Amino acid sequence: MTRMRGRQTLALLLSALMLSGCAGEHAVPAEPGWSVGFGKYALVPDDPDTTVYYIAGYRNNNRAAGILDLQYARAAYISDNAGNNIVIAAVDCIGLSRTDIQKIRQRAAGTVARYKLSAVHIMSTHTHAGIDTLGLWGPVGVRGICDEFMETVYEGTAQAIALACENKRGGQLYYGSADTEGLQRDSRLPEIYSPTLHRFRFVPSDGSAGLQIINYGAHPEALRSENSMISADFPAYMGKKIADITGDEFIFIAGAIGGLISTHRQRDSVEENVVVTGEILADIALGISEERALDPSVGTKTEVFNVELDNRTYIALAFLGVINARPHRGGGQYNLALETEVSLVTLGGVKCALVPGELFPELAWGGDAGPLAAHPGRANPPALAEIAGDKNLIVFGLANDEIGYIVTPNDFLLDDQAPYLAQAHDGSGRKHYEETNSVGIEAAAALAGAFAKLFENNNT
């Protein structure tokens, strides 16, 4: 417990130093307009030489060899000063189950009441170099989670949320975007993904440092599979360059990354590759020249729904306590389901779909595998953009849950002998890896149905 208190103290000191001069000196303007605040908390682990941590992603039993850069919880308070106040947070980690999200929200309950927050939305950046927060990357069949570190994640995220609310300032919020064509790769045909980098940029009226919220559709895995160092991956270096040049704080939110969308390798050395990838993305964000001022309006709606749980490996890991997800009685082959949620957030009219996993881009904006599809005669649900009536719909992935890959039904294929355990190969030779890390084929339709409910009676 001594190390735990020391780690939390260090994290608080780091957060306080980085936010020095913010708290207490910015008053919320009385006139109508945007109010935005930022808070962050360093998720400092115990020394990896004395505590075992497993790197989340790629392979089991990959013990952390050290710390390349720190993981953070970052949060933004966003208000239109008309009674609509929300928090959007992002945690540098592979993912957080809804069970974890609920624990964070419980710890932030006092902040929610004090600042009259209508919603707290928590995303995971999905770094493949962070400490295991899902439990899947210990030795095979062994829980990979360090409970003390999870306490740091829960408390740190709640602290970041409180800091964001305390540091709110008046100012203007802008939206802009840029094309990153050529930077991404889609490892599973068809090549369908969004090359657009989205940015919400807050400029405080008092001239102090602002905030840039960046949304982009690529796995943060520039450190690749050979890595054993703890890191937030390319978002850390993207944010560092933005801060070095502008002084602005930074939040990264992953987009629709299923399929599997990542970035092309820029350098042979993984240590160089992660820095260069982050800096390229920072340059693209900083190069946005056309942005529009958003009128102050905040909207948020959430639909809680069930997804059938047909993945036998997932079920076994849940009941063994390896992962934190908690199945309950429902539909599907085993009468089991997971409760999850989907949300719609609008900022100045810009629509953002908050999706609880790694969404195939086809399910966000349309398109499919065509003749390559495993089941070309099977229908996919309407794309989220079609449901929203907005071809420019932004997707915030791994939001408020991580249920794994959300796969297009017409291209969903399981291995005959070991479904959900071995990856299937279709007639074109394509590997169907993503299905092994999904809850089942019905997830896409359940998500689309729940998302559609957010638009019933034109109440958007």
Residue 228: pLDDT band by 50, 70, 90 thresholds? very high
The reply to whether 145 falls in a domain is no
Going through 237-335 in order, the beta strands assigned E by DSSP cover: 249-254, 261-263, 291-293, 298-308, 328-329
DSSP H or E segment with residue 27: none
What distance in Å separates the CA atoms of residue 206 and residue 229, rounded to the nearest whole number?
A: 39
pLDDT interval class at 73 (50, 70, 90): very high
370 DSSP 8-state letter: G
Contacts of 316 (CB under 8 A, 6+ apart): none
pLDDT at residue 26 tops 50: no
**pLDDT bucket at 11, cuts 50 / 70 / 90:** low
Distance CA 236, CA 196 (A): 19
Tens digit of pLDDT for each residue in 263-285?
A: 999 999 999 999 999 999 999 99
User: Nearest 10 degrees: CA dihedral of 431, 433, 435, 437?
Assistant: 180
With respect to residue 259, please indicate whether it lies within any of the assigned structural domains: no
Q: Which two tokens stand for residue 317?
A: 């890991």
Q: Is residue 141 part of a domain?
A: no
- Look at residue 83 and tell me if it is in a domain: no
Residue 348 resides in a domain: yes
Has residue 198 been placed in a domain?
Answer: no
**pTM of this structure:** 0.93
Give me the number of domains the chain comprises.
1
Q: What is the pLDDT of residue 3?
A: 35
* pLDDT beyond 80 at 1: no
User: Is pLDDT above 50 for 27?
Assistant: no
- For residue 102, is it within any domain? no
Supply the range of the domain harboring residue 331.
298-458
What pLDDT shows up at residue 148? 96
Task: Identify the residue with better confidence: 24 or 107.
Answer: 107
**C-beta neighbour count of 109 within 10 angstroms:** 12
Contact criterion met (CB below 8 Å) for 212 and 253: no
**In the chain, what percentage of residues exceed pLDDT 70?**
92
Going by pLDDT thresholds of 50, 70 and 90, the confidence category of residue 49 is confident
Q: Tens digits of per-residue pLDDT, 118-158? A: 999 999 999 999 999 999 999 998 999 999 999 999 999 99
Is position 134 within any domain? no
Tell me: the pLDDT tens digits for 363-382? 999 999 999 999 999 999 99
Contact 128, 74 (CB under 8 A): no
Question: 3-state DSSP call for residue 180?
Answer: coil
| pLDDT given at position 48 | 87
Record the tokens describing residue 104, joined without a space. Answer: 């964070």
Kindly state the tokens that stand for 21: 């001069």
pLDDT at site 7? 53
